[in-house]
Structure 1
């Protein structure tokens, strides 16, 4: 289909007619759900289901998502010609796995000193570099074993494949193409992903939000506050089978903060920009960045030992709830906690790739004031980063330093403000200050 109209000004009659054509096509071929389709505008990025009128307004106001030239989410089929064209014309389609590994593990493999007694980083590096250099099959130029495995794992995450189905797919590929050099199970694949530093911790929680089964309580079977069972009744009925898998009522997902902050310094470009606020910004007295604000300046006066090194991280914490099931008539409240490093210049601070997802707090109900129970792993990391810091390699200066971090402020709506602060924001004794 001719889609040149997408590039025209959004106020032109050709563009407006094109939007109407797209909507008619999407509602005819795209299998709308309850009168809603995924909105492909530059703001929603095919992640929000909206009715026709809203999609129309968004496409006129924001335009189409950049690069969404084949409407695969709205009924158009990706043909062989499209696939060939993508491979030939898009230079960015080549996976720079070697660059990824060097950014993640710096140059640990290039120092001869490390070869005498390999540390953990070097061992992981050697294992992954071996995978990255192996051909997927003899003569394959487009994929290595590692790049193909990562791409396949990405598809699993995007389309919600189960672990068992992913293992079955790997088995089928290996059976049909014995020369294919890929892992034979989901768990081996996940091990490779873990080595890239993309892992998270699962921590069981009390169904009534009383406690985490963590540290000293890691092996407990019931809550020491309310007495509720850790596991669902169906998973504990057969007590004879001690090795049976038990299903917990609630599971907190925690993405460790420290390795993610350390990884920012492993790439020389991001490492140098983390010093931007202290070394490169314009100091003409105008308010251009949070470093020019009174809160930042007052913090530096109170803690000069922290402020002396511009590489120390200033963090903001944002939290809100969302319904992962999309149905607005379903009362479900899952909470996420995101950390934003404000050392970067303004045009980098709010980029999605530098917003660090830290916690996913399970529903179905809001934790309320008990959110502090779920914040414990993050608070532990923040206390360590504030009090003593962690040894970190700075690729831009080729040196190791003691990285510290401080939580400067929180970002939330009014109900979440009450939860995070523990104060009352409504009723007779409400005090927002």
Structure 2
């Protein structure tokens, strides 16, 4: 609600009087007209209660300016001012009402007549209470008003809370495990008290008289989670999206179903691919320390499954992430991780072979649901644990395998890998360069990728290891590592899946970790951070031994000391300070990244505490701009590589026939009047719609103003709202025309206005903007090589045309140009949030196949 009237000192101003009326309506809404409320006039100051009439008279003599949040008159205490924002194109909820959803759950689990089960007449809950009765009892308890039965409904202890949650069906199976990761006490080993491995024999429990296990695997069954995907009608329909509504494009991958892996799987397993409801899964796992930043060393490994049948903007959202298991610590399982995957692999084998009976709320029928695992997603160490290929030492590359090009550095005491150029096109210029690489030209073709069958044949020839970390087992593993010339350490348990060897890609690397590591190394080298730089004296000595980059070799200094000559990427102390100064002043739009300036310590020249997504933004957006003008052209290039209105044509043609020199100016000034006269003439003849008549009469002169607007996936704020904020949401870009040429206009939003056409009550939101002057090179400069656009923010233009439609605006933000300086800023585009450019087939294009699926 607009409260700018409160600062008006002329109490006879119509805007002030209208504001008083709005306040009185708000304060006494739903209350007895004769009641008394605190009066916010300058005399009473909310200390005296007055009636509606008296309060109105008092406020006509002034209101307390600071009373901007009307907490004494029904307004909440929310500190955030998001109520000043306007939402455009607000999407409907993704789910049906809760009552419909719960009814779907009941039908899916207990049949159509679950509400009329004879068990419901048994009265109170007993130990033999049936599932329909238990579900209906929980449903009835959920419908009770909480404030009327707080004492009886809220659990009084942690134990009661666990029992209450357990009845919801979210079951967790606790499986005891050997403390040395040798085996699970499960299936055939369920009754044992000691590890079944003869070289371990570790006890199962902490003490002989205790039943407290030393290590517990928590496993969450996959079947009920997959079944629940089809309980909701909308989700069940979306599970068919990949086949029925996805637009196939061979030249673009918008969804995993567009990948060669998916299509190859469908060709090899046609019976599975026939039913679009069969689920394709991806698996991700990594270790983390749940104790946080404490000195305790602990590693726990959650395993997550993701269903890929859903739409792209749903399949990677957390409501559809399945926590499959939690592998306990305190140490990482490493190659023994296969032991803990046994329950999941057995369930996946069953789901692929026979499936599980599932109710489809969209089709209102039952079917046999099957599932298959397409691939895993991990960082590089976990890649080795899951695949069985050691990602260390000379043959670390899981793609090149035995053809990995590696070299041991005698001074750096580590392996380096120099064969990346073989993956470039055969005519790429870098193939011919010698000095910048290893001193040789690259003529080799990329290594041939082995199929899953070929990998399986290699694995069958190696001796399989015994799992576990018992001392005797560790010694045996060390001896086998010395004898084994291949980097294969084991046959992955996933090869037990009947389709695993035919999958085109079985394991993927998570780019998040790659970007983080590369960014840390790159910044550490540029800033010469001792613990992170790759440009060390050991590296310089290795370059000399290899006979490469002579200009970087250590030079003799005074006495026995050596001097490191500066490299092309070496920054001076002043340049480093400017680098951190640039980072400390940047502001991003809401949700674009975290507050990176809080990670910058300018005086100490440190960059600490960035999140994983921040590294991606940093290396993609900030690093090229921060080093712009500091590095040599060659070094900088290498880092970079890493509403206009529609008018009636009739009116324009009339003006052009008059041979006027200023057609556009006459069009802008005379069109509204001409348009109104034209529409009123057609309306008198009965040839005009209400919408056109409302448009010709114009909007109501009374408007609503807002400080923010959410539209098309962007969150916009006016410039004044950003004064005390660390974010930047006022930047805007729109496509228009200047001098009969199509161009992009850049500016900032100064006001957000909602106008209403009272005849039809249609509403339009417009942005009032200041536009930066881009008429020549003194206003805009584009670096074509690095694709960086810089604009001069010292001058504005088009002050007589400040408004655009909110729906036409795209969001940008501005960063200081470190190369041009002054008022020059670099423009960075923002991608809309929760908005995806993915075409879909229309409902008319879908053929409803009523033929039953053959199971």
Instruction: State the TM bucket, normalised to the shorter chain.
Output: 0.5 to 0.7
Q: Give me the TM-score of the superposition, normalised by structure 2.
A: 0.33
Partner of 1:320: 286
Measured after TM superposition, the shift of residue 224 of structure 1 is: 1.2
Asked if the contact 2:114–2:132 (Cα under 8 Å) also holds between the matched residues in 1, the reply is no
Confirm whether residue 343 of structure 1 aligns to residue 344 of structure 2.
no
Measured after TM superposition, the shift of residue 121 of structure 1 is: 4.4
Confirm whether residue 218 of structure 1 aligns to residue 228 of structure 2.
no
CA distance in 2 between partners of 1:418 and 1:220 (Å): 31
Match of 1:254 among 219, 224, 248: 219
CA distance in 2 between partners of 1:345 and 1:305 (Å): 23
Give the alignment's Cα RMSD to 1 decimal: 3.1
Asked if the contact 2:249–2:258 (Cα under 8 Å) also holds between the matched residues in 1, the reply is no
Measured after TM superposition, the shift of residue 273 of structure 1 is: 0.6
Match of 2:246 among 260, 281, 297: 281
Confirm whether residue 373 of structure 1 aligns to residue 339 of structure 2.
yes
Measured after TM superposition, the shift of residue 201 of structure 1 is: 1.5
CA distance in 1 between partners of 2:246 and 2:78 (Å): 44
Confirm whether residue 265 of structure 1 aligns to residue 230 of structure 2.
yes
Match of 1:417 among 383, 405, 409: 383
Cα distance change, pair 412–107 in 1 and its aligned pair in 2 (3 A): closer
CA distance in 1 between partners of 2:367 and 2:278 (Å): 10
CA distance in 2 between partners of 1:411 and 1:278 (Å): 24
Partner of 1:301: 267
Partner of 1:227: 201
Cα distance change, pair 306–220 in 1 and its aligned pair in 2 (3 A): same
CA distance in 2 between partners of 1:331 and 1:325 (Å): 8
Q: Deviation per CA, 1:8-65: give whole Å up to 9, x if none.
A: xxxxxxxxxxxxxxxxxxxxxxxxxxxxxxxxxxxxxxxxxxxxxxxxxxxxxxxxxx
Confirm whether residue 112 of structure 1 aligns to residue 142 of structure 2.
no
Partner of 2:373: 407
Q: Which shows bigger deviation, 323-332 or 252-261?
A: 323-332
Measured after TM superposition, the shift of residue 430 of structure 1 is: 4.1
Measured after TM superposition, the shift of residue 399 of structure 1 is: 0.7
Asked if the contact 1:97–1:132 (Cα under 8 Å) also holds between the matched residues in 2, the reply is no
CA distance in 1 between partners of 2:304 and 2:382 (Å): 13
CA distance in 2 between partners of 1:253 and 1:191 (Å): 17
Q: Deviation per CA, 1:246-284: give whole Å up to 9, x if none.
A: 321111111111111111110111111110000011124
Count of equivalent residues: 301
Confirm whether residue 360 of structure 1 aligns to residue 332 of structure 2.
no
Asked if the contact 2:117–2:132 (Cα under 8 Å) also holds between the matched residues in 1, the reply is no
Asked if the contact 2:175–2:216 (Cα under 8 Å) also holds between the matched residues in 1, the reply is yes
Paired residue secondary structure (1:266):
coil
Partner of 1:195: 167
CA distance in 2 between partners of 1:107 and 1:212 (Å): 34
Asked if the contact 1:231–1:247 (Cα under 8 Å) also holds between the matched residues in 2, the reply is yes
CA distance in 1 between partners of 2:154 and 2:274 (Å): 49
CA distance in 1 between partners of 2:111 and 2:179 (Å): 49
Whichever structure has more helix as a proportion of its residues is 1
Cα distance change, pair 215–255 in 1 and its aligned pair in 2 (3 A): same
CA distance in 2 between partners of 1:364 and 1:108 (Å): 39
CA distance in 1 between partners of 2:109 and 2:357 (Å): 15
Cα distance change, pair 323–116 in 1 and its aligned pair in 2 (3 A): closer
Partner of 1:332: 298
Q: Deviation per CA, 1:71-92: give whole Å up to 9, x if none.
A: xxxxxxxxx964899xxxxxx9
Cα distance change, pair 420–109 in 1 and its aligned pair in 2 (3 A): closer
Paired residue secondary structure (1:202):
strand
Paired residue secondary structure (1:131):
helix
Asked if the contact 2:304–2:323 (Cα under 8 Å) also holds between the matched residues in 1, the reply is yes
Cα distance change, pair 260–120 in 1 and its aligned pair in 2 (3 A): farther
Asked if the contact 1:333–1:363 (Cα under 8 Å) also holds between the matched residues in 2, the reply is yes
Q: Which shows bigger deviation, 332-341 or 210-219?
A: 210-219
Confirm whether residue 208 of structure 1 aligns to residue 183 of structure 2.
no
Partner of 1:20: none
CA distance in 1 between partners of 2:78 and 2:217 (Å): 39
Asked if the contact 1:268–1:394 (Cα under 8 Å) also holds between the matched residues in 2, the reply is yes
Asked if the contact 1:277–1:344 (Cα under 8 Å) also holds between the matched residues in 2, the reply is yes
Asked if the contact 1:320–1:413 (Cα under 8 Å) also holds between the matched residues in 2, the reply is yes
Q: Deviation per CA, 1:175-226: give whole Å up to 9, x if none.
A: xxxxx34556544432332232323121111100011111222232111111
Partner of 1:397: 363
Asked if the contact 1:106–1:267 (Cα under 8 Å) also holds between the matched residues in 2, the reply is no
Cα distance change, pair 113–249 in 1 and its aligned pair in 2 (3 A): closer
Measured after TM superposition, the shift of residue 363 of structure 1 is: 0.8
CA distance in 2 between partners of 1:427 and 1:84 (Å): 55
Q: Which shows bigger deviation, 274-283 or 212-221?
A: 212-221
CA distance in 2 between partners of 1:183 and 1:100 (Å): 25
Paired residue secondary structure (1:321):
coil
Structure 2: stretches of 5+ with no match in the other structure: 1-74, 81-92, 120-128, 400-855
Partner of 2:697: none
Confirm whether residue 132 of structure 1 aligns to residue 142 of structure 2.
yes
Paired residue secondary structure (1:207):
coil
Partner of 2:621: none
Paired residue secondary structure (1:228):
coil
CA distance in 1 between partners of 2:265 and 2:196 (Å): 39
Structure 1: stretches of 5+ with no match in the other structure: 1-79, 86-91, 149-173, 175-179, 240-244
CA distance in 1 between partners of 2:334 and 2:324 (Å): 18
Asked if the contact 1:320–1:416 (Cα under 8 Å) also holds between the matched residues in 2, the reply is yes
